Amino acid sequence: MIPKVFREVIDLGDGREISIETGKLAKQAHGSVVVQSGKCMLLCTVVSNYEQKDLNFLPLTVDYREKFAAAGRYPGGFFKREARPSDGEVLTMRLVDRVLRPLFPKDYHSETQVMIQLMSHDPEVMPDAMAGLAASAAIQLSDFPFECAISEARVGRVNGEFVINPTPAQMEESDLDMMIGASADSVMMVEGEMDEISEEEMADAIKFAHEAIKVQCAAQLRLAEAFGKKAVREYEPEREDLDLEKKVHDMAYDKVYAIAKAGSAKHERSAAFQQIKEDIKATFSEEELADYGGLVSDYYRKAEKAAIRDLTLNEGLRLDGRKTDEIRPIWCEVDYLPSTHGSAVFTRGETQALATVTLGTSRDANQIDMPSQEGEERFYLHYNFPPFCTGEARPIRGTSRREVGHGNLAQRALKGMIPADCPYTVRVVSEVLESNGSSSMATVCSGTMALMDAGVQMTKPVSGIAMGLISDANSGKYAVLSDILGDEDHLGDMDFKVTGTADGITACQMDIKVKGLSYEILVNALQQARAGRLHILEKLTDTIAKPNADVKEHAPTMVTRRVPNEFIGALIGPGGKVIQEMQKETETTIVINEDPVTEEGIVEILGVGKKGIDAVMAKIDAILFKPTVGSVYEVKVIKMLDFGAVVEYLDAPGNEVLLHVSELAWERTENVSDVVNMGDVFDVKYFGLDPRTRKEKVSRKALLPKPEGYVARPPRDDKRPSGRDNNRGRDNRGRDNRRDDRKPREDKKED
């Protein structure tokens, strides 16, 4: 018996719809929905254990996976099953997690898992735009303590018009790609890339997406109501003691305020705060600490946060002594590493990133193999955040989700400034060496300089800055903080990272922690971020004003050549013999791709030094060589024959032609060696295909003066008698009636 199915439909306003359905699949989960648009279907399930973990954070796991069967494909690689998530899947997990996590109660510590799976793929639908909707809808059907429905939407702009959840074809024409996460009341998350748009245009895009999200949130509530809204589960809340909270606050607040106002360095400040905490704990007995020592620590952190926020709101001062719009000291250096193709160090305060650039061929492109996306990246950036950069020692367990996310942000910031005609595959790697405040923005800055140092002809340099916000709803006060510290990231109401050129924004990432943030404050914050970006950009261009004209001497030069389709085989050779020998002899890397439109061969030649590349180009010229009728060419004798000499075109080594003995000289030539010898160089005239022999004809004698009194031999008369009966045909060859006179053959005797 098919269970009752509940369904809600969201109209996107342009003929497309999104449906949310529950009641048919995965009913043992605490909440499950199927979200569908076109043929794209996502299954989302949510489960949260009823036991509280002894932790001071929510152990929430958001998992997003795309099944290859959804697109009718097999997984790549040796093992034909889905394994570790791709970077694209990790980025979608992060987008959903960042919106969901703040909406759970701070004292809810049950292990919670959100699983989203692409079960059916539609090439006209981008599934990541519906993942947040699916997660929130499933939670609305559960008994989780969750504040309110949320959703996420992608916004693009095609021909000046904003579009919600655009198709891949529309995204090709869009000048921005933004994902916005929000509830019906407040925007909570923004991430995307843009084509140098203004701060006001960015705010308009956020507003447009928010209106669509309100509709999606309303649909979730209707579905939950129809399905039957469950009572919110009871859970054991964290222990509270208001008297203890006040006592700790009174003991800590003034001391923390004084240290924060002193403007000290990170380690010095951290040590001072730790000492205040230890002094407070020392006022309690061992029995008291055993009973509620954890509360003392929690209340201390709360008092510390309050004191630092008040200092900024009341006096406009920050932990390191800066004013709200002040940028930390910056120093930069390029060409730091002697063996890389490009390198740069960017240091801002206590944050430092070392970026390297490596140049390669299309063979080095980053392959993307997902059910929802296939292709390659010719520009990509990797970000590494080792534990020593924050003075910690911990094991490295592969690339973290954070590293994937920060690297993707920096990549999106820079990729629009890589010219379309850049012949290289470009890989940037950022090694974060120190971190206290946005290392992803330091990566953007060091990456820009390293690219210019490598000779990549960036259209414009890009800089980035991390901003913060501290606000007080009661007083209406707020402070926008430029170039935030790590501590300010945690205690603020908004942290956002903005990258761009002097002319506009290229990428952004925002997490908004305060409800009902006005667009006026948002635009003001973006304008302050622009001033900070331009200040940092000036520091970058003071270090390296423009891209180096050429790559470094030890870096490879790339030359691209187009070859007609019919010559590709000759260039590759049987079993790849020709191209392999060429690469070995010239010490180059040669890659041949086919233009899908013209079907021409696109030959990439990568080599260090001009000599090897010139040799490859000469070989290609030789393979493509086509002599012109009536033209004169210099040739060299490479083989002697009885009936002529084989000569090679000097302009096209490897291209040979027979110079017949009759074309050596005007006089009759008995021996070829009487006229030419091995290694002789001379000119010949090209006559094209000889109509009689159907072979190419060249002549030496055509370029020589005729001897005095020379008489040309008369042309051969093909109809002249030749001593035989020219009237003989196939059936009459001078053997008239021969078969008729022959005696019958005697039968072969039997043994």
The pLDDT assigned to 325 comes to 93
- Secondary structure letter of residue 729 according to DSSP: B
The pLDDT assigned to 714 comes to 64
**Contact status, residue 320 vs residue 485, Cβ threshold 8 Å:** yes
pLDDT surpasses 70 at 294 = yes
The pLDDT assigned to 520 comes to 85
Residue 499, strand partner residues: 464, 507
Higher pLDDT, 79 or 316: 316
Measure CA of the first residue to CA of the last residue in the chain; give whole Å: 90
Residue 63: phi and psi, rounded to 5, are: -125, 130
**Contact status, residue 524 vs residue 503, Cβ threshold 8 Å:** no
What mean pLDDT is predicted for residues 543-554?
Answer: 93
In the CATH hierarchy, which fold is given to the domain comprising 631-703? OB fold (Dihydrolipoamide Acetyltransferase, E2P) (2.40.50)
Closest CA to 48 of 61, 57, 39: 61
The predicted-structure confidence for 726-747, as pLDDT tens digits, reads as follows 444 444 444 444 444 444 444 4
Local confidence band at 79 (pLDDT 50, 70, 90 cut-offs) = confident
User: What is the residue type of 202?
Assistant: M
**Contact status, residue 680 vs residue 646, Cβ threshold 8 Å:** no
pLDDT surpasses 90 at 212 = yes
Local confidence band at 667 (pLDDT 50, 70, 90 cut-offs) = confident
What mean pLDDT is predicted for residues 513-524?
Answer: 84
The CA R_g of the chain, rounded to the nearest whole Å, is 38
The pLDDT assigned to 715 comes to 58
The predicted-structure confidence for 442-475, as pLDDT tens digits, reads as follows 999 999 999 999 999 999 999 999 999 998 888 8
Q: Which residue has the tokens 């430092």?
A: 352
Higher pLDDT, 5 or 721: 5
Looking at every residue in the chain, the average pLDDT score rounds to 89
**Contact status, residue 675 vs residue 722, Cβ threshold 8 Å:** no
What mean pLDDT is predicted for residues 184-208?
Answer: 94
Local confidence band at 534 (pLDDT 50, 70, 90 cut-offs) = very high
Q: Check: pTM over 0.85? Answer yes or no.
A: no
Alpha-carbon distance of 508 to 78, in angstroms, equals 38
The pLDDT assigned to 681 comes to 92
Alpha-carbon distance of 126 to 40, in angstroms, equals 8
The pLDDT assigned to 713 comes to 67
Higher pLDDT, 293 or 353: 353
Number of CB atoms found within 10 A of residue 538's CB? 13
Alpha-carbon distance of 346 to 595, in angstroms, equals 40
Share of the chain above pLDDT 90, in %: 61
Give the chain's length.
751
- Lookup: tokens for 162: 């904003």
Residue 600: phi and psi, rounded to 5, are: -75, 160
Can you point out the beta strands (E) in 75-168? Answer: 110-120, 150-158, 161-164
Torsion-angle region of 726 (φ positive above 0: left; ψ -120 to 50: alpha; else: beta): alpha
Q: Please report the sign of the dihedral spanned by the C-alpha atoms of residue 181, residue 187, residue 193, residue 195.
A: positive
Local confidence band at 382 (pLDDT 50, 70, 90 cut-offs) = very high
Local confidence band at 545 (pLDDT 50, 70, 90 cut-offs) = very high
Between β-strands 601-607 and 588-594, what pairing exists: parallel, antiparallel or unpaired? antiparallel
Q: How far is CA 126 from CA 37, 39, 131, 373, 586, in A?
A: 9, 11, 10, 9, 46
Q: What CATH number does the domain located at 6-227 have?
A: 3.30.230.70
pLDDT surpasses 60 at 333 = yes
Does 495 show up as a binding residue in the annotation? yes
Alpha-carbon distance of 479 to 472, in angstroms, equals 9
In the CATH hierarchy, which fold is given to the domain comprising 330-392+400-543? Ribosomal Protein S5; domain 2 (3.30.230)
Least confident of 43-52, 543-552, 600-609: 600-609
Look up the CATH architecture of domain 556-624.
2-Layer Sandwich (3.30)
pLDDT surpasses 50 at 277 = yes
The predicted-structure confidence for 648-666, as pLDDT tens digits, reads as follows 888 888 788 899 988 888 8
Alpha-carbon distance of 147 to 100, in angstroms, equals 10
Alpha-carbon distance of 563 to 583, in angstroms, equals 17
The pLDDT assigned to 740 comes to 47
Q: How far is CA 289 from CA 166, 239, 296, 659, in A?
A: 57, 14, 8, 105
Between β-strands 31-37 and 17-22, what pairing exists: parallel, antiparallel or unpaired? antiparallel
What mean pLDDT is predicted for residues 117-138?
Answer: 96
Does 718 show up as a binding residue in the annotation? no
